[in-house]
Chain A
Amino acid sequence: MARTTTTRRGLLSGLANGLMTLPAAAVYTGLTVVPVGYAVYYSFTQYNGIPSQAPTWVGWENYARIIADPIGDLRPAAWVTLVIAVVGAFLVNGAALGIAMLLRRTTAFNTFARAVMFYPHVLSALIVGFLWQAILGPQGALNNLLEHAGRSTLPFLADPDWALVTLVGVIVWAQFGVQLVLYLAGLQAVSPELQEAARLDGANGPQVFRHVTWPALAPTVTVTIVTSILSLLKVYDVVLGLTNGGPGDATQTWAYEILAVSFANNKVGLACAQAVLLVVVAGILSFTIIALRRRAEEGAEAVG
């Protein structure tokens, strides 16, 4: 009798839990799963996005087109995106961790400095692009200063290689604020006792960082790397404001190709195929990083 009552209670509890998750599940399904499903479906069609003109099923044609890249515009975009994701993630995390180490102690100045460092992230990415264009353009503030100082101007946005480096720099400037906050939170969780014990054992600053702080930060590092790479893979607004993909196609990213080229020409099917591939790449990268970081996180648990 007691077992039956327990079982019934368990069932009711499970049912209640299930019912309570229904609203969230419905919202997630309606706002995420259904649109993603449509995107996957459209990726197998030729469709211009106009409801009165029905999509035509074309199978893998859009994907074959992306792989064949007959006009050679997608591979450069993939390369630019890769550079931004890899170099950008490295720089974003390096800058964020370095500054977090400097600002880890809570003082009035550090609180102010944290707000200042986070501020670029508050700005719209489009505005960030226009702002830096005004500073780094051929007739921007910096080149005007150089000219008045009798120096030759620099092609920050006029030369393809310079433009890509400039774009990465601006993106890093705009994005590292979020990673900084995560690193600051992660550093607060590092045991002061362990750090103190290491110092008492004779470890110097770099050694304490190497053997105590860094291992304890492992879970934070995983989160910041994954979030920064996902964010950098879909960079679009800054590109639009800063270079509009130019000069030529030197700074066209994959997301720019999707939104400013494919969608702009009403190629919704092709755009969705490009987006699906981006999601697949983002997923593979995320899970690979998480798998690679697992060992480091286990070390962190040992330290913690």
Chain B
Amino acid sequence: MSTTFLRRARGAVVLGMTPVLVLAACGSEGGSGDAADDGSVRMLVNITDNLTQAKWEELVKPFEDESGIDVKIEGPSGQSVAESFPSLLAAGTAPDVIESIVPGPDTAPEVLDLTGYDWASGTPMADLYSTDGTINVVGVGMQAQSLMYYNADLFAEAGITEPPTTWDELDDALAALAAKDVATPIAFASDWATGVQVQEIWHPQQNVTTPGWQQSVADGSSTLGDQFQPVFEHVADWIEAGYTTADDVATDSGTQEANFIAGDVGIYPMGSWFSTTLAASPPDFEVGVFAPPVDDDADAPGPMGATLAFPYMVWKGTANPDGATALVEYLTTDEAAIAAQAEMDSFSREGLEPSSNEYAGMVQELSDAAPSYVVPGNQTVGDYALPVAGFNPKFTELVQGLWQGRSPADVASDLTAWYEAEKLG
């Protein structure tokens, strides 16, 4: 390798690679192509083990046969639908219908207002997901978030006769499980799951203490840190007692679910979708589900944290608004389509036939017993949306600090500081 060659290579490196750093991060301005105008409808959907391409195509087949409209199912081009939709908007190739996400502050202006369609107001949770009466996302049911799955056999061995309903009882139950050498009395998981789980276990008491807490934070009568410091203190106590360790927040949710199914975990906070996983791989022990605790037994069960199941929205720039809205109407109102979606990924809905999945049945019972449904903090649309983007990733990042020895007060203070710096408007 000659010196001259190396010098040229060095020059090429400096001239060529440096701008590429920017290219990697900041692409050029997207095109402005129009949507396809061939009468078909493109639908961007979430693809998972439960929600496969084949199942989606089977779901829309009756609509295609009835309407003559060709529905093209597309999986996300990026890591998720949430990441793909803004990219597709920027590229001018947004799909006509978008499933699995709700509008955010940036994407809401790009989404069709469905308020004028009579069927839209009758869809589940339309009230919680509307902003000043405006509906731009509709769904088929409710996915319960505030759920604590437990190993009933381990509970029995530890002498716990009834699932806890108050925080004191939950602390006692965890102590009893630990005394019986249960490997993980309560399991949390890494990435998005840490933040979601901590919020899930706090929804009931948080909404008992401050109904509509997001609005209190938004109007300045409360802070985000004040809202969550109590649950941070509970979690910090559990970490100190060894009920959950730093390994938990470095272990992905799939592995923690497998740990629960293997019988190594006493309690696993997770949303209703975990019931589908349990049904697919039934453990050889009895599983129970209880609602997260409240401070005072008289308030039990508290409000149920819930999100919209199978949320659909229509892109405002669609070349086929009639076809796109007809498809969404079919998916959210046709009884056979709703039942098919319930088979794909379980959810609760008034009047829906009880699921053959016994775990989903238990979730349904808890949902029915809840005095009300409340939306979580990462809700980005509706009257209960926090005026801030990126809540759950930041919440997760900060809350994981508890497992690294940070104090609840410091974590709460950082959460408030983040909100103050990031709030919109």
Chain A: residues with CB nearer than 8 A to chain B? 31-36, 38-39, 42, 48-53, 70-72, 137-139, 153, 155, 157-160, 163, 182, 185-186, 188-189, 219-220, 222-223, 226-227, 230, 233-234, 243-250, 252, 255, 258-259, 261, 263-266, 268, 271-272, 274-276, 278-279, 282-283, 286-287, 290, 297, 300-301, 304
Which residue of the partner chain B has the closest CB to A283?
Answer: B18
Residues from chain A with a CB closer than 8 A to the CB of B6 are 186, 219-220, 222-223
A-B contact pairs, 29 of them (CB 8 A): A35-B27, A39-B23, A49-B87, A49-B89, A49-B90, A50-B90, A51-B32, A51-B90, A71-B418, A137-B251, A139-B255, A182-B1, A186-B6, A189-B2, A222-B6, A247-B190, A247-B249, A247-B403, A247-B404, A248-B400, A250-B404, A261-B393, A264-B390, A272-B25, A276-B22, A278-B22, A279-B18, A279-B21, A287-B14
Q: Which of A35, A48, A248, A252 contacts B23 (CB 8 A)?
A: A35
Q: For the side of the interface on B, what is the size category?
A: 35 or more
Residues from chain B with a CB closer than 8 A to the CB of A244 are 190-191
Residues from chain A with a CB closer than 8 A to the CB of B22 are 35-36, 39, 272, 275-276, 278-279
Q: Is B397 a contact of A248 with CB atoms below 8 Å?
A: yes
Residues from chain A with a CB closer than 8 A to the CB of B280 are none
Q: Is B14 a contact of A226 with CB atoms below 8 Å?
A: yes
Residues from chain A with a CB closer than 8 A to the CB of B18 are 230, 279, 282-283, 286
Of B104-112, B131-139, B224-232, B294-302, which stretch is located at the interface? Answer: B104-112
Contacts A185-B1, A188-B1 given; indicate if A271 touches B26 (C-beta within 8 A): yes
Distance from A223 Cβ to chain B, minimum over Cβ atoms (Å): 5
CA distance A260 to B52 in the complex (A): 26
Q: Which of B25, B32, B421 contacts A275 (CB 8 A)?
A: B25
Distance from A104 Cβ to chain B, minimum over Cβ atoms (Å): 13
Given contacts A33-B19, A52-B89, A278-B25, 5 further A-B contacts (CB under 8 A): A158-B246, A234-B21, A247-B403, A264-B83, A275-B26
CA distance A39 to B343 in the complex (A): 46
Where chain B touches its partner, the secondary structure class is: helix
CA distance A266 to B389 in the complex (A): 9
Residues from chain A with a CB closer than 8 A to the CB of B122 are none
Which residue of the partner chain A has the closest CB to B79?
Answer: A240
B113 within 8 A of A: no
